[in-house]
Amino acid sequence: MDDLRYKPSTTVAAIIEREGRFLLVEEHTPEGLRLNNPAGHLDPGESLSQACARETQEETAFAFTPQALVGIYLARVQMPDGPGRPGGADISYMRFAFCGSLGAFDAERKLDSGIVRTLWLTPQEVRASAARHRSPLVVQCMEDYLAGRRYPMDALHTHANVYTQGPGV
């Protein structure tokens, strides 16, 4: 048996709606300009909600406080051959999507490398732009939000050892 284990990349995403429009980011990717929810990877030493708040601020310059889990998603993305990816890549992503309250905008904050701009799109515009989405989950997360899917934050537990250095429990 192969010693490699299947390990999806853990990501977080913010589903942010204001006055009937959703906040997306336009970003440079190896496949060209793509649209995505404010999203990114879980870093060591942080909870899922902390990662979502951090990624949202880094990509949009808005403070964000996750208040409910919209859903947990698994998707597979096959990326083409490119720099640093000879032969392409077959990656699975486990996405934890949150909705919550949008806070202050920091006009002085520089957006993450690769982020071109933020956009506020209607649900129809999000659906119509699906060919430009970085992930097939952009629309799915929005649809689940619009359907009223909300799960309590206490459904997620972060053990204290996540925040400490050294051997885990």
What is the pLDDT at residue 85? 56
- The mean pLDDT of 74-82, rounded to a whole number, is 75
What is the pLDDT at residue 1? 46
The neighbouring-strand residues paired with 73 are 95
**What digits encode the pLDDT tens for the residues 92-104?**
889 999 999 999 9
What is the pLDDT at residue 76? 85
Strand pairing class (21-29; 89-105): unpaired
- Domains of the chain, residue spans: 9-151
**What digits encode the pLDDT tens for the residues 33-55?**
999 999 999 999 999 999 999 99
- The mean pLDDT of 53-68, rounded to a whole number, is 98
Give residue 77's pLDDT band: very low, low, confident or very high (50, 70, 90): confident
What is the pLDDT at residue 31? 83
HEC per residue, the chain: CCCCCCCCEEEEEECCEECCEEEEEEEEECCEEEEECCEEECCCCCCHHHHHHHHHHHHHCEEEEEEEEEEEEEEEEEECCECCECCCEEEEEEEEEEEEEEEEECCCCCCCCCEEEEEEECHHHHHHCHHHECCCHHHHHHHHHHCCCCECHHHCCCCHHHHCCCCCC
Name the CATH superfamily, with its identifier, for domain 9-151: Nucleoside Triphosphate Pyrophosphohydrolase (3.90.79.10)
Read off the pTM.
0.88
Residue 68 has pLDDT above 80, yes or no: yes
Classify the phi-psi angles of 75: left when phi > 0, otherwise alpha if psi is within -120 to 50, otherwise beta: beta
